[in-house]
Amino acid sequence: MPFRDTIGHRQLVRLLSRSIAAGSLPPSLIFSGPEGVGKKRTALALAQALNCSRSVVSGQWPVASGWGSVVRGQGPGETGDELPIDACGECPACRRIARNAYPDVFLVQPEDSASIKIEQIRDVIAQTAYRPFEGRRRVVIIDEADAMGADAQDALLKSLEEPPPHSVFVLVSAHADVLAPTVRSRCPRLRFGRLNPAEIARALARDHGYTEEESRLAAALAGGSLGRALEAAAGGLDDVRAAACRALRQVAEAADSRGRLEGARGLTGARGAGSTTAADREQLAARVTALLALVRDLAILSSRAHGGAVANLDLTSELEGLSRLYDRDRIVRAFTAADRALRALGRNASPKIVADWLALQL
């Protein structure tokens, strides 16, 4: 899928395209950001743009001028889409890259053991010693790069320090801070942000055959991650929404703050207290995102003006029950608090502290 068809991240995509055109693309990069927002897809689009038989790449390879160590994606709403270089998406090179069947584009991923082994890294480095077979640039994409152990990262380090000519390394990771400092310091980082619901809904309708209503609901609950929207569709979404519904009800019906904190347990899950892994944070973020979507629906129902825009249409009876507990003021408070809770989780706050705080605010 060429740059122009990727969802969101327009500023990052433009930067990549311009850098290829100017011959200033760094030979090693980190694509960091939440799961399921299109980092790997963008890396493949980069590989296509570098090797498409119909795109023209100018400039000498590679002078990393003008790149800071960290590049952040802009939020939604930005405009302007000029891409000096893009793949056609149709030629044999583009098609084979999309199928992971192109000899000069390597996709390294964790194997069964859920880790990327040093042998995988050694194999791919051995390949980069030669000129590309067919393409102009060899592209090594290491997906879930944080799954590399210390030895695998060490093995990669020399290639990042002195990249083989004609090669570019892209390390894709939702947990880039876990990578060794030596690796991070050699790779400028592109930070991918979350997608907005409209972008997700568009992708679900365009690429996954969702109806308008299905895509709106899934997008509202996806927390900015297309991957999460698709996972939710495969199962689990109902559980997340049920947990959020229960917590909203329990907190509102609680007689005192102890009862409210009980409601917070329903958001953090069984492992609850003191648990601070990334997975716990993700789980809480999913539930708070579902809670936010429910509160948004309560706001819509309370105004009675736009009944059709309710995201959780299939939960109408639960929403009506909740609407007796949440008046306008409380809805506004809940909305603000849930939004702040999500931001705090994005800054790696403790799930327990965030859930307790949220339960007391609702």
Which residues bind to Zn ion, rule: CB under 5 A?
Answer: 52, 54, 87-88, 91, 94
> Measured from the CB of residue 83, what is the shortest distance to Zn ion in angstroms?
14
Residue 282: how many CB atoms within 10 A of its CB? Answer: 18
Task: Classify each residue of 213-251 as buried b or exposed e, where b means 16 or more C-beta atoms within 10 Å of its C-beta.
Answer: ebbbbbbbbbbbbbbbbbbbbeeebeebbebbbebbbbb
Nearer Cβ to Zn ion (47/319): 47
> Measured from the CB of residue 99, what is the shortest distance to Zn ion in angstroms?
13
> Measured from the CB of residue 308, what is the shortest distance to Zn ion in angstroms?
42
Nearer Cβ to Zn ion (91/313): 91
> Measured from the CB of residue 49, what is the shortest distance to Zn ion in angstroms?
9
Query: What are the residues whose beta carbons fall under 8 Å from the beta carbon of 249, sequence distance 6 or more?
Result: 321, 322, 325
Separation of alpha carbons 324 and 248, rounded Å:
12
- For residue 354, the one-letter residue type is V
Contact 28, 189 (CB under 8 A): no
CA contacts within 13 A on the Cβ side of 348:
5
Give residue 283's Cα distance to chain centre: 15
**Of 293, 342, 46, the residue nearest 194 (C-alpha):** 342
CA distance from start to end of the chain: 43
Nearer Cβ to Zn ion (93/342): 93
> Measured from the CB of residue 333, what is the shortest distance to Zn ion in angstroms?
52
Nearer Cβ to Zn ion (71/88): 88
Nearer Cβ to Zn ion (54/122): 54
> Measured from the CB of residue 188, what is the shortest distance to Zn ion in angstroms?
26
> Measured from the CB of residue 86, what is the shortest distance to Zn ion in angstroms?
9
How far, CA to CA in Å, does 11 sit from each of 81, 158, 253, 272?
A: 9, 30, 46, 38
Separation of alpha carbons 113 and 137, rounded Å:
30
Nearer Cβ to Zn ion (41/184): 41
Nearer Cβ to Zn ion (15/88): 88
> Measured from the CB of residue 12, what is the shortest distance to Zn ion in angstroms?
21
Give DSSP secondary structure letters for 208-252: H---HHHHHHHHHTSTT-HHHHHHHHTTTHHHHHHHHHHHHHHHH
Separation of alpha carbons 171 and 132, rounded Å:
20
Nearer Cβ to Zn ion (54/206): 54
